[in-house]
Amino acid sequence: MRNKLSSIANCGIILAVLLALAASAQAQDGADLVKQLCGKADAPVRDAAQLAQAYQEAIDYLMPLMSADDVPSRYNYQIMFQDMGSYAARPGAETERQAMAKVIVANLDRADMLDVVRHWFVLQLERIGAGESVPALVKLMAADDRHLADYARRALEKNPDPSATEALLEKLSSAEEAAWKIGLLNSLGQRRAAEAIERIAESLGDADPNVASAAATALSNIGGAASAKALFGVLNKPLGPVSVKVAQALIDIAQERTAHNDVVNAGKLCVAVYNWATKLTRDPNGPNPFSIRVAAINGLMTCDPDKATEEIVNIIRDGDPRVGRVAVQVARQAPTTAPMRALARVLPELPPHYQVQVLGLIADRGDLSSVGPVKRVLHSDYEAVRLAAIDTLTEIGCDESAEALLDIAVNGSGAVQRAAREGLALMAGPRVEEVIRASAASGDVKKRSAAIGLLGKRRVPGVAEALMGYAADANEEISSAAFKAMVDVADMVDAGTLADLVAKTSGQGARSSAGAALRAALTKAPDKAAAAEAVIERVRNSTGEVKVTLLMSLDAAGGPAALQVVTEAAQSSDEALREAGIRTLGNWPDFAAADVLMKIASNSETSLTHYVLAMRGALRLIVTSDSAPLEDRVNLCFKAFDNARRDDEKRQVVAAMGAVPSPKVAERLLALAKEGDFKAEAALAAVELAGSMLRRDREAARDLAQKIRDLNVSDDVNSRAEAVMRGRPMRGRGR
Partner 1 sequence: MKKKPSLSRRDFMFKGAAALGAAVVFPRVVPSTVFGANAPSNRITMGMIGMGLMMGGHLHGMLGRNDVQVLAVCDVDGRRRESAKGQVERAYANQAADGAYKGCDAYLEYEKLCARPDIDAVFVVTPDHWHAMCSLAAIKAGKDVYCQKPMTLTIREGRLMSDACKQYGTVFQVGSQQRSEWAFRKASEIVRNGWIGKVHTIYTSLGSFAPPTTLPAQPIPEGFDYDRWLGPTPWFPYNAERVKGDYGGGWRRFWEYGSRKNGDWGAHHFDIIQWALGMDDSGPVKFVPKGWPGHRYQTHYYADGTKVLRDHPVWGGHMIQFIGTEGEVMVSRGGRLDTRPVELAQAPLLPSEIHLYDSSDHDGNWIDCIRTRSTTICPAEIGHRTATICHLSGIAERLGRPIHWDPAEERILDDPAAERWYDRPRRAPYVL
Told to check if 321 binds partner 1 by CB under 8 A, we report no
Stretch of 362-370, 504-512, 587-595, 619-627 contacting partner 1, by CB under 8 A: 362-370
Question: By CB under 8 A, what part of segment 214-233 binds partner 1?
Answer: 214, 217
Cα distance between residue 615 and residue 609, in whole Å: 10
Residue 82 beta carbon to partner 1: minimum distance, rounded to whole angstroms: 8
Residues contacting partner 1: total by CB under 8 A? 96
Using an 8 Å Cβ cutoff, are 640 and 601 in contact? yes
Told to check if 391 binds partner 1 by CB under 8 A, we report yes
Question: By CB under 8 A, what part of segment 232-271 binds partner 1?
Answer: 248, 251, 255
Told to check if 186 binds partner 1 by CB under 8 A, we report yes
Please count the other Cβ atoms lying within 10 Å of the Cβ belonging to residue 113. 17
Question: By CB under 8 A, what part of segment 571-600 binds partner 1?
Answer: none
Told to check if 352 binds partner 1 by CB under 8 A, we report yes
Told to check if 315 binds partner 1 by CB under 8 A, we report no
Of 333, 360, 357, 358, give the one whose Cα is nearest residue 343. Answer: 358
Using an 8 Å Cβ cutoff, are 455 and 468 in contact? no
Cα distance between residue 309 and residue 630, in whole Å: 74
- The radius of gyration computed from the CA coordinates of the chain, to the nearest angstrom, equals 42
Cα distance between residue 619 and residue 602, in whole Å: 14
Tell me which of 140, 271, 416, 432 binds partner 1, using CB under 8 A: 432
Stretch of 67-75, 560-568, 582-590, 695-703 contacting partner 1, by CB under 8 A: 67-75
Told to check if 397 binds partner 1 by CB under 8 A, we report yes
Question: Among residues 420 and 657, whose Cβ is nearest to partner 1?
Answer: 420
Tell me which of 30, 183, 373, 581 binds partner 1, using CB under 8 A: 183
Residue 56's alpha-carbon distances to 61, 122, 504, in angstroms, are 9, 16, 96
Residue 356 beta carbon to partner 1: minimum distance, rounded to whole angstroms: 5
Cα distance between residue 331 and residue 341, in whole Å: 9
Stretch of 427-435, 549-557, 566-574, 689-697 contacting partner 1, by CB under 8 A: 427-435
Told to check if 83 binds partner 1 by CB under 8 A, we report yes
Tell me which of 333, 411, 506, 543 binds partner 1, using CB under 8 A: 333
Measure the CA dihedral 657/661/663/669, to 10°.
Answer: 20
Tell me which of 101, 188, 273, 427 binds partner 1, using CB under 8 A: 427
Question: By CB under 8 A, what part of segment 187-206 binds partner 1?
Answer: 187, 190
Question: By CB under 8 A, what part of segment 89-148 binds partner 1?
Answer: 89-91, 97, 116, 119, 123, 126-128, 147
Told to check if 25 binds partner 1 by CB under 8 A, we report no
Question: By CB under 8 A, what part of segment 433-492 binds partner 1?
Answer: 458-460, 488, 491
Tell me which of 35, 139, 158, 192 binds partner 1, using CB under 8 A: 158
Of 226, 178, 179, 182, give the one whose Cα is nearest residue 201. Answer: 226
Question: Among residues 74 and 519, whose Cβ is nearest to partner 1?
Answer: 74
Helix axes 630-643, 647-657, angle to 10 degrees: 160
Those residues with Cβ within 8 angstroms of residue 561's Cβ, 6 or more apart along the chain or in another chain: 529, 532, 533, 536
CA atoms within 13 A on the CB side of 86: 10
Question: Among residues 37 and 621, whose Cβ is nearest to partner 1?
Answer: 37
Cα distance between residue 402 and residue 386, in whole Å: 15
Question: Among residues 217 and 479, whose Cβ is nearest to partner 1?
Answer: 217
Using an 8 Å Cβ cutoff, are 250 and 224 in contact? no
Told to check if 284 binds partner 1 by CB under 8 A, we report no
